[in-house]
Amino acid sequence: MNTLHTEEMTLNMGPQHPSTHGVLRFVVRADGEIMREAVPDVGYLHRSIEKIAEKVGYHGFMPYTDRVDYVCAMFTNQGWASACEKLAGIEVPKRGEYCRVIAAEFNRLASHLLSVGTMAMDIGAMTPFTHALREREMINDLIEELCGARLTFNYMRIGGVAFDLPPGWREKALAYLDHFEPIFDEYNALISYNKIYIERLANVGVISAADAINYNLVGPNLRACGIKWDIRKDVPYSVYRDFDFDVPVGEGRWGKLGDAMDRYMVRIRELAESARILRQALTRIPSGPVLAKVPRNFKPPAGECQVRIESARGDMGWYVVSDGTAYPWRVHVRTGSFAAMGIMQKLSRGLMIADLVTIIASLDVIAPEIDR
Amino acid sequence: MTAIGSYFRNIKDAVTTIFEGMAVTASHFVRRPYTVQYPDRTPMRVQDTLPIRYRGILEVDLEICTGCLACERACPIDCIVMVAEKDPATRAITISQFDIDIAKCMFCGLCSEPCPTGSIHHTTEFEGADFSLESLIKRFVKEPIPAYKAKKGPETDPRIAPILDRGMHFLDEWAQPGGEKSGSTT
């Protein structure tokens, strides 16, 4: 008697798949609906941004940093600016630092809103996406008034920020926070506590704490595995020492610790924490200059430095080597999304193909940040 | 028995949480819509509602351009081409070319930051679609013109004074290095 042989299937997911949020390709080896493994194929969005830095100089590279991670460009701005300041030993005025924190935390709100919104959309719930994007749109309006752009901000400069807060902006921002905090509960009622949604996410893509550290996960993905590690708290930079805020970690309330639902809820709770930081920063902002004196022909002394920033996607490292000329000798960016791609192959084993979408969304991968 | 119990509890939870979510959606029937229809249903031109710092298509007021080439040097992608010659005898600067490739421009604002008079600035105009790349190159100089020379004291020429005022208004938005400026008006 002949046995009926089943065959393993090789599927391409991407590079243009709606759930990959950008140009990202997975080579999926599947046995029916069950994945043997999904191998991420990165590099479709490589734009040589690190090389460009060696050609355009220190001031000119600032708009390019917006393109490293366009969903939270304030953090890439801040990373580059602080790296240059550390190289040249420039001290940023107190008000400049506060402006940076305010802009960055608003950007974190926008980035996390986009993340939780698109996550719900990838799972199949269309309405929460429009709710999250509506809130993000209001933040974009605020940021537009602050720095003139909605996505590629180019707000920060070496030595401070390009613009002071416009007149009346502080009141507007506080009014927005008053509006945002109730909306936040509404959003939770809409989708976060929905039983079907929880069942869809709980126990999917479980990452143990040991794996998270071994695969070098950062940011909300790491914290969802129960590890309390936040650069803002543990290696404080800028003026984050002044603020009182908590670092939300995964609890495993709905399933195993470190599943997709934990990653989602950590982001939701970080929204509240960011709003808390913003409220403190907006009420305490000191007066004074926002930009330190930095020569237009900026030549830091020869040397190298590494700066860490807690971006919306986690620990972002900026490594700059200067040889004393007007152009950096080498720039390297270490981003959270690239680290998250590493664990994809391990996570996907034995899951359904539909769960791959959940994992990508829950790790909050931004395609341009993977490749730079 | 517990299996059946949890089965029905799950159904009950699913139905109640769906209705909680639906209540939020239903509440939007009585709220004012947040969306507007662009471009023909907006109450006023979108360009007029944008803040002054908005970085739209670049514009140059040649009347107050000093020909210092600071904008050309600041541009990281070289989308500004400018030719300004200095007469060795009279020390007067003549601008013979000032082109900006809007198709190449990335609207970063680095050119308008070092401008001493605010001559080059971003407008709130963003509708720049065109059929050819060539027509997106803005050529500001038709024939060589003398560059603006900053005077001591206020500008007296009634034709240039309002333009300079507007330029300085754009310039005031930028943070001055180390300056107090609007810093204390929190």
CATH number at residue A75: 1.10.645.10
Regarding whether A163 and A40 lie in a shared domain, the answer is no
Partner residue opposite B13 with nearest CB, options A64, A165, A195: A195
Of B13, B54, B76, the CB nearest to A144: B54
B107 phi, psi to nearest 5 deg: 55, 45
Specify if A365 maps to a domain: no
Cross-strand bridge partners of residue A35: A30
By the CB < 8 Å criterion, does B128 face chain A? Answer: no
Q: B175 and chain A: CB distance < 8 Å anywhere?
A: yes
Within a domain: residue A367? no
Please judge whether A194 and B179 are an interchain contact, meaning their C-beta atoms are less than 8 angstroms apart: no
Q: Which residues pair with A332 in a beta bridge?
A: A319
Q: Are residues A39 and A57 in the same domain?
A: no
pLDDT for B182 beyond 50: no
Peptide bond into B39 cis (omega under 30): yes
Interface touch B109/A154, C-beta < 8 Å: yes
Give the span between the Cα atoms of A66 and A366, in whole angstroms.
13
- Residue A210 Cα, gap to closest chain B Cα (Å): 33
How remote is the C-alpha of A24 from its chain's centroid?
17
Q: What is the pLDDT of residues A100-143, one digit of tens each?
A: 999 999 999 999 998 888 888 888 888 888 888 888 989 999 99
**What pLDDT digit, counting tens, does each position of B100-148 carry?**
888 888 888 888 888 888 888 888 888 888 888 888 888 888 888 877 8
Binning pLDDT at 50, 70 and 90, where does residue B35 land?
A: confident
Does A212 fall in a domain? yes
A173 part of a folded domain: yes
Residue A62 and residue A35 in one domain: no
Dihedral sign from CA coordinates of A318, A53, A102, A238: positive
Angle, CA A324 vertex, CA A319 and CA A326 arms, to 5°: 85
| Number of domains comprising chain A | 2
Cβ burial, residue B166 (10 Å; 0-12/13-18/19+)? middle
Rounded CA gap, A284 and A286, in Å? 6
Has residue B185 got a pLDDT over 60? Answer: no
Percent of chain B past pLDDT 90, that is, above it, reads: 0
For tokens 């701005």, name the residue.
Answer: A77
Q: Residues of chain A whose pLDDT is less than 50? A: none
Query: What 8-state DSSP symbol labels residue A352?
Result: B
Q: In what order do the strands lie in the sheet with A303-311?
A: A303-311, A314-322, A328-334
Distance (Å, rounded) from C-alpha A342 to C-alpha A347?
9
Handedness of CA A112, A115, A116, A118 (dihedral sign): positive
Residue A261 lies in a domain: yes
Nearest to B24 among A161, A190, A292 (CB): A190
- In degrees and rounded to multiples of 5, residue A27 shows phi and psi of -100, 110
Residue B183 has pLDDT above 50, yes or no: no
| pLDDT at residue B91 is higher than 60 | yes
Please check whether residues A254 and A308 belong to one and the same domain. yes
The length of chain B is 186
- What distance in Å separates the CA atoms of residue A102 and residue A165, rounded to the nearest whole number? 10
Q: Please indicate, yes or no, if residue A201 is contained in any of the structural domains.
A: yes
Nearest CB neighbour to B51, from listed A64, A93, A145: A145
CA A132 to each of CA A15, A121, A140, A154, B176: distance values in angstroms, whole numbers, following the listed order: 26, 11, 12, 24, 36
Confidence of residue B180 (pLDDT cuts 50, 70, 90): low
Domain that holds residue A9: 1-46
Residues A16 and A121 in one domain: no
C-alpha closest to that of A39 among A341, A351, A365, A366: A341
Cα(A15)–Cα(A363) distance, integer angstroms: 18
Q: Does A98 lie in the same domain as A42?
A: no
Does residue A96 sit in the same domain as residue A38? no
A40 lies in the same domain as A78: no
DSSP conformation letters of A332-343: EEE-HHHHHHHT
pLDDT at A30: 86
Query: Which tokens in the block code for residue A370?
Result: 């993977």
Name chain B contacts of A199, Cβ cutoff 8 Å: 10
Q: Is residue A211 located within the same domain as residue A247?
A: yes
Residue A370 placed within a domain: no
Tens-place pLDDT, residues B69-86: 888 888 888 888 888 888
> A174 and A265 share a domain?
yes
Using the structure block, give the residue that is written with the tokens 């709100």: A109
Judging contacts by C-beta atoms under 8 Å, the chain B residues touching residue A196 are 14, 17-18
Bridge partner list, A31: A34
Domains contained in chain B, CATH given: 50-174 (3.30.70.3270)
Q: Given a cut of 70, is residue B181 above it in pLDDT?
A: no
| Per-residue pLDDT at B184 | 42
Q: Is the dihedral of CA A248, A251, A255, A259 positive or negative?
A: positive
Interface test with B, best of A70, A196, A261, A283 (most B CBs within 10 A): A196
Structure tokens at B157: 């020429």
Report the pLDDT value the prediction gives residue B179, as an integer from 0 to 100.
Answer: 61
CA distance B73 to B70: 5
- Say yes or no for a CB contact (<8 Å) between A291 and B113: no
CB pairs under 8 A between A and B: 127
Residues in chain A: 372
**For residue B1, is pLDDT > 70?**
no
ipTM score of the complex? 0.81
What gap in Å lies between CA A205 and CA A365, rounded to an integer?
14
For residues A27 and A116, membership in a common domain is answered with no
CB atoms within 10 A of CB A82: 23
Distance from the Cα of B85 to chain A's closest Cα (Å) equals: 23
- Cis omega (within 30 of 0) on the bond before A40? no
- Using an 8 Å Cβ cutoff, are A207 and A339 in contact? no
Query: Percentages helix, strand, coil for chain A, rounded to the nearest 5?
Result: 50, 15, 35
Contact A294 B34 (CB under 8 A): no
Dist. CA B120–CA B146, nearest whole Å: 16
Same domain, yes or no: A127 and A183 = yes
Task: Quote the Cα angle for A16-A22-A26, to 5°.
Answer: 55
pTM of the entire predicted model: 0.88
**CA A173 to CA A102: how far, in whole Å?**
10
User: Is A97 contained in some domain?
Assistant: yes
